[in-house]
Amino acid sequence: MKTNQAGMSILEILIALTLLGLAGTFVAGKVFENLQEGKVQTAKIQVKSIGDRLKEFRRDCGFFPTTDQGLDALLNKPEGGGRECKRYSPTGYIDGGKIPVDPWDGEYIYESDGKAYTIISLGADNAEGGEGFDADISSKDL
């Protein structure tokens, strides 16, 4: 008598599910890594873009906004807190009426004495320092 076995045993199904789980873990890890790398690149682009807007401000005003005036000076003409800009652009220096946040929803840190500036994103961990994706991104490093 001939028997023809069709189908899979429970052991074969478990092995197949285990292999699929391992492959899924690898793929998910790569997707997460690519997502984080994309956020780092986005932060670098935003820091550079904000720096370009600050340079436009300096061309018109003769100085960078001070730390006290902050990045808000790119949206609204700074009043007090240091020197005033006589040639401030009537439309401001950033389109959209809002200072961007970094890709991890943190605010960019801005420091300036009016002569030079630094823009910093604290990275994925939103804390100073860190390594890898948690590392700070500074305009001084770009």
**Token pair of 97 as six digits:** 């009426």
Task: Please report the pLDDT score of residue 119 as a whole number.
Answer: 98
Q: Delimit the domains of the chain by residue range.
A: 10-141
- What percentage of the chain carries pLDDT values higher than 90? 68
**Three-state SS annotation for 79-113:** CCCCCCCCCCCCCCCCCCCCCCCCCCCCCCEEEEC
pLDDT of residue 117: 98
In this prediction, residue 114 has a pLDDT band, given cuts at 50, 70 and 90, of: very high
* Fold category of 10-141 in CATH: Glycoprotein, Type 4 Pilin (3.30.700)
pTM: 0.81
Strand-strand pairing, 137-138 and 117-121: antiparallel
Max intra-chain CA distance, the chain: 101
pLDDT value, residue 21: 85
